[in-house]
Structure 1
């Protein structure tokens, strides 16, 4: 079900008693399984209303709400150095499930290309990611979200590669390298942590040179901390990556993981395999074509790096 902004505004007024909706807008980056709108009330406060489009999305939202309610105290005492959405009210939906409303977190999406080396925003991003990984795993377990041990998560990655291989669309050189890395048992000896699971520029808000908020916690799990670093290592300027990792490592306690960066880079590559599988499952030829082209580009870069001796 796709709800109009006006319908979402009406849900917000039910969820938060006294909320007098003055204006409503679609966000710049709407959800895929959740209808989202930004409601501006009569005193110019901004609220975000989210309503699931189907029962599976509703179940995922309920787990996310349970997690967010647990995370609140961690933001209050500074263990999380940024804001998270704080549910302020709910409205029951006629078809079942609930819409959730929270105050909008001020800030703008992080622009990775603007990151610079040194003690500024790049370091703040590293510390923010590390703070997530320092959370007790019980917050995820108690919310009913997935929990993996290192061996189980490696098997999950292997299953993704096997499924992608069966499409016949992954270049053989990439498959061989992925399989070799997945068979390297030493590389997969890590301590699972809480991971956000869907960090991206749109989900990290910044203001005044600091991380102001982190959004969209529906993919949170206990798994490989390398996953949350992947997008940064792949897309951020290289000189900023060093600052991110240094701040991250300083913020972590008892971290002994010599293959963290290796797995993070692999996770970035396997994201293309998941994009391919999404296109195949959804029968979206445009997505399949996009994924195939990116995989071919990756293969070309990989062969160049191997020739230069960057991969052993």
Structure 2
């Protein structure tokens, strides 16, 4: 079911008593699992309404709402230096499940490719992720979301690599590289933390040189903090990534993890395996071809790095 913006505005007025809808707009990228709209009320406040398109999305939205209810006080108290979309109300749907409504968090999507090094936005991003990783893991546990210890998470990653290998579409040298790192027990000695689990430029909101909010918490869990850093180390300019990590490490109070960056870079590589598996499971040839092309490029890149390192050691 795909709901019109007007239908979503009506749900918002039910969810938040006293909300007088004046205008409604569809966001630029509405997504596929949720119908989403921005409702502007008579006082010009902006509200975001999300309604699940299927039962699985509805269950995820309910779990996310519980977590956000626990994260909200952390943001209010300043332990999280950014806002989270805490639900202000719910509206029951005829087919089951509920729509949620929250105040829109001000800010623009992060432009990671033009992120600059130094004490500004890059440092703010590092501090924001460190604060997230410092939260008590009981927050996620109390929300009923997944909790992994280091050994279980390593096994989870190994299972993904094994499944990707069975497709026959991953370059053999790349598979050997991944298996070697997964067999390195020392690499996987880490303290699990609260992680967002699905960070991207669209989920991180920016105002000036500050992170103003982080959205879409449905994949949050207790797991490897390296996962939240992977996309930054892969996509951000090198100097900016250095500033992010410096600010991150300064903000962490119990950072005794010499292999954090190594696992983050590996997580970035394994994201391509998951993209391949998604294409295989959904039988979408375009996604499979895209994943295979990126895996081949990664294989070429890692081979070049290994050869350069071998030459450096021989010199």
Q: Aligned partners of 1:171 and 1:93: how far apart in 2?
A: 47
Partner of 2:189: 189
Which range moved further: 69-78 or 221-230?
A: 69-78
C-alpha contact (below 8 Å) 2:37/2:50 kept by paired residues: yes
Give the aligned partner of residue 91 of structure 2: 91
Could you tell me which runs of 5 or more consecutive residues in structure 2 were left unpaired when the two chains were aligned: none
Q: Name the structure 2 match of 1:272.
A: 272
Where in structure 2 are the equivalents of 1:164-175 lying within 5 Å?
A: 164-175=164-175
Is 1:32 the counterpart of 2:25? The answer is no
Unaligned runs of 5+ in 1: none
Question: Is 2:125 the counterpart of 1:125?
Answer: yes
Q: Does structure 2 retain, via aligned residues, the 8 Å contact 1:51–1:98?
A: yes
Contact 1:80/1:132 (8 A) holds in 2: yes
**1:103 aligned residue:** 103
Q: Secondary structure at the match of 2:278?
A: helix
* Deviation readout 1:257-303 (Å, 9 max, x if unpaired): 01000000000010011011111111111111111111111111111
SS in 1 for 2:65: helix
Q: How many angstroms apart in 1 are the aligned matches of 2:32 and 2:277?
A: 17
Deviation (angstroms), 1:113: 2.0
Residues 179-233 of structure 1, C-alpha deviations (whole Å, 9 max, x = no match): 0000000000000000000111100101021000010011000000000000100
Aligned to 1:216: 216
Match of 1:226 in 2: 226
Q: How far is the alpha carbon of 1:32 from its aligned partner? A: 2.5
Give the deviation of 1:31 after TM superposition.
Answer: 2.8
Residue matched to 1:22: 22
SS of structure 2 residue aligned to 1:211? strand
Structure 2 CA distance for aligned equivalents of residues 187 and 208 of structure 1: 37
- For residues 141 and 217 of structure 1, the distance between their equivalents in structure 2, rounded to whole angstroms, comes to 14
* Residue in 1 that maps onto 2:159: 159
Which shifted more, 256-265 or 301-310?
A: 301-310
- Quick one: distance in 2 between partners of 1:112 and 1:80? 21
Partner in structure 1 of residue 285 of structure 2: 285
TM alignment of 1:69-88, pairs within 5 A: 69-88=69-88
Larger deviation, residues 23-32 vs 46-55: 23-32
Contact 1:29-1:202 at 8 Å conserved across structures: no
Report the TM-score when normalising by structure 2.
0.97
